[in-house]
């Protein structure tokens, strides 16, 4: 009895996470956010420098 209840709860949780993911993709797209590019670095093999982005 306990295992069936656990499996039913797990199935419901998985379905919820899938719906949440689909809603996020619909609202925000599937690309990376603009803020993810704020701390980029450029590497030429010898030197690494911070890329400054204008906001």
Average pLDDT value over all residues in the chain: 80
- For residues 29 and 53, give the distance between their C-alpha atoms in angstroms, rounded to a whole number: 22
**pLDDT of res. 23:** 95
Note the pLDDT of residue 17: 97
The residues, any chain, with a CB within 8 Å of residue 19's CB and separated by 6 or more, are none
Tell me, yes or no, if the pTM score tops 0.85.
no
Q: Would you state the pLDDT for residue 19?
A: 97
DSSP state of 52: P
User: Domain of 10?
Assistant: 2-50
Q: What is the pLDDT at residue 53?
A: 56
Whether residue 55 lies inside any domain: the answer is no
**Would residue 40 be called left, alpha or beta, if left means φ above 0 and alpha means ψ between -120 and 50 degrees?**
beta
Structural domains of the chain, count? 1
Non-local CB neighbours of 42 within 8 Å, separated by 6+ positions: 48, 49, 50, 51
**Sites in the chain below the pLDDT cut of 50:** none
């Amino acid at each position: 009895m306990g295992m069936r209840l656990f499996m039913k709860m797990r199935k419901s949780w998985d379905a919820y996470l899938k719906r949440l993911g689909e809603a996020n993709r619909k609202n925000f797209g599937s690309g990376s956010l603009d803020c993810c590019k704020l701390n980029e670095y450029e590497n030429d093999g010898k030197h690494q420098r911070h890329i400054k982005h204008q906001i």
